[in-house]
Amino acid sequence: MALSEQKRMLLQGNEALARGLVENGCVVAASYPGTPASEILSAIQKWQAAEKVPMHVEWAVNEKVALEIAYTASQTGLRAMTAMKQVGLNVASDPLMSAAYLGVVGGFVVVSADDPGPHSSQTEQDSRLMAMLAKIPVLDPASPAHARELAAVAFELSEAFRVPVMLRPTTRVCHACQDLELKPVQDLARVADFQKDPARWTATPKFRYQLHLQLNQKLADIAAYPPTAPICHNPHVTSRKAVVASGPVASYVKETLDDLGLWDSLSFYQVVQPYPLHTEFSAQVLEKHDEILVLEETTGVIEMQFRERNKVRGKLSGAVPEAGELLPETVERIVAGFAGVPASPVPQVAQQGGRRPTLCPGCPHRASFYAIKKAAPKGIYPSDIGCYTLGVNLGAVDTFICMGAAVSQAAGFYHSYRIGNQYPDIVATIGDSTFFHAGIPPLIDALAQGARFVLVILDNTTTAMTGNQPTPAQGTPSGQPVEIEQIVKGCGVRFCKTGDPLDLPGFTALVKEAVAFSHSEGVAVLIAKSPCLVDRSQPRKKRPQPVVAEKCTGCQVCTKRFECPALVFDESTGKVAVDSMICSGCGVCLDVCPVGAIVSREEG
């Protein structure tokens, strides 16, 4: 049965949100992958295909480009969206700020998925603060169904006030699943019709001041917009105490009040639009209640908008943790304390064993890092954001900050040491998608400033960490592939070579050659090209699994320094064995074993 023919489906939060956007006339969607937002664009592609909707859907080279493409579609009168994770919003912040001033024509939704915890992010920043900085409204969905519903509200709000609208799901909303009824896809029958208006679209600084005044008035009006007003879930209660919550925490509060028998004794409000907080709501809550507990993730955005501070309990008052997720058991404990009733005992979870996160068995990045360590054992190793951050386990990653910073940091290390006439080996690593995203400008800067280091671009021809989204190197049916080597040489790099890291001796020799060049000439770039093992769309060599011979000495170089999960040290025998269930047969361990005890199956 075709997706479009099904009445109900079990949808992940990101799929539900994507469905809401497509159902409500979104025809241009652009994104850069990042957990927990990665599945949104993939789901839009799925709905587009299932419903045969004419759309432009693309994985952009980074979040700034994605936002600019989608915003431009809005300027032509079409409904458009862009999606990213919260740290990606930092990259897109420049055009976001201007888009808020200039306003929109077609509805424009910016989905910024937050990661309280954080589970897979450098920071657990709150996108709502960015919405406040940009002065645009933000909506907080509490569940997958709510995310789908708010997609429609966001488009309507955006067009009603001609302003970008942020939709901020968090990890628990993005990755929860819910059974939902599919609604028909609206055909708004719009065509792009850009109305030239230089005073608006190319506004000078003086006119931008006028736009700022207009934006302030829009915010004041949005703070009274009925469709996004807070909801009182138990209006019959007359308590002088109230709980105010938003996002998935609102769902936890609802369950907690039931569990603790407080549904009829504590007033409960759910805030759908945390910024701007509805003015009338704020005034009424402060008038009706003496004590107000505010529960929200991650920052006290709602809390800080209540002006009568002595009545409000929350993150700023110390009643609620200022960092990390607000899990259901945490919410129950806080609400119980606020109401003066005992909380349910928290069940003790048995400590689980396990191993630290590591690269997949057969991952070519492991071989690259091993080669780097062999070629430059006393080097400094700046790295970047992606699977390869796990190279820290192999001792081949010393720093990482944000997308593209590996290249800038390599230059920074060079300039810092050069002042003292020191010239350590510097070998930076960056993924292919990250290089396209933010690695090119710092490479240009490094060349212009005469920095000297080795940059290894770990090219597995995919964005592996977030689910194998395509990179520009793959091209599109209507476009053309963009080769990394051509970009590097076009920047002016004179040493640019490509090697297969699974050929460990050959790739180690290449790294040594690059290090020598970097000391005498300048920046050297190596492209470590080998496909990601979990990307089934990429062809790869099939090799037999190795075996361990009797002469294994149990030195554990292969398990501790190479750290392949498919190699297991057996305490009882004092030797290493191959776990055939997970071994990919990459064969790199044959070159790692110092005594040649790991051999191919044919030799064994």
- pLDDT of amino acid 473: 92
Distance CA 314, CA 152 (A): 30
Place of tokens 């908008």: 305
pLDDT of residue 346: 72
pLDDT at 540: 67
**Neighbouring-strand partners of residue 8:** 181
Burial-class residue 307 by CB neighbours within 10 Å (0-12, 13-18, 19+). Answer: exposed
> Can you list the residues of the chain whose pLDDT is less than 70?
1-6, 349-355, 540-542, 602-604
pLDDT tens, residue by residue, 326-365: 999 999 999 999 999 998 777 776 666 666 788 999 999 9
C-alpha torsion angle, residues 515, 464, 169, 275 (rounded to 10)? 30
Q: Which two tokens stand for residue 229?
A: 């007003």
Look-up: residue for tokens 């949005």? Answer: 222
Whether residue 30 contacts residue 58, with contact meaning beta carbons closer than 8 Å, is answered with yes
Dist. CA 123–CA 401, nearest whole Å: 10
For residues 537 and 44, give the distance between their C-alpha atoms in angstroms, rounded to a whole number.
20
What residues pair up with 181 in beta bridges, in sequence order?
8
Dist CA 527 CA 510 (whole Å)? 10
DSSP alpha helix (H) spans, 457-501 = 484-491
pLDDT single digits (tens) 264-298: 999 999 999 999 999 999 999 999 999 999 999 99
Tell me what pLDDT residue 486 has. Answer: 97
Residue 28: the pLDDT is 97
Distance separating alpha carbons of residues 84 and 169, to the nearest angstrom: 11
- Give residue 122's pLDDT: 87
For residue 529 the two structure tokens come to 């090209």
Helix (H, G, I), strand (E, B) or coil at 430: strand
Q: What residues have CB less than 8 Å from 349, skipping those under 6 apart?
A: none
Count Cβ atoms below 10 Å from residue 528 Cβ, excluding itself. Answer: 27
Tokens standing for residue 593 = 């074993």
Residues 6 or more apart whose Cβ sits within 8 Å of residue 448: none
Q: First CA to last CA across the chain, in angstroms?
A: 51
Place of tokens 């709905």: 47
pLDDT at position 350, please? 67
What are phi and psi for residue 157, nearest 5 degrees? -65, -45
Within 8 A by CB and 6+ apart from 539, the residues are: 531
**How far apart are the C-alpha atoms of 355 and 353, rounded to whole Å?**
7
User: How far is the C-alpha of 311 from the C-alpha of 308, rounded, in Å?
Assistant: 6
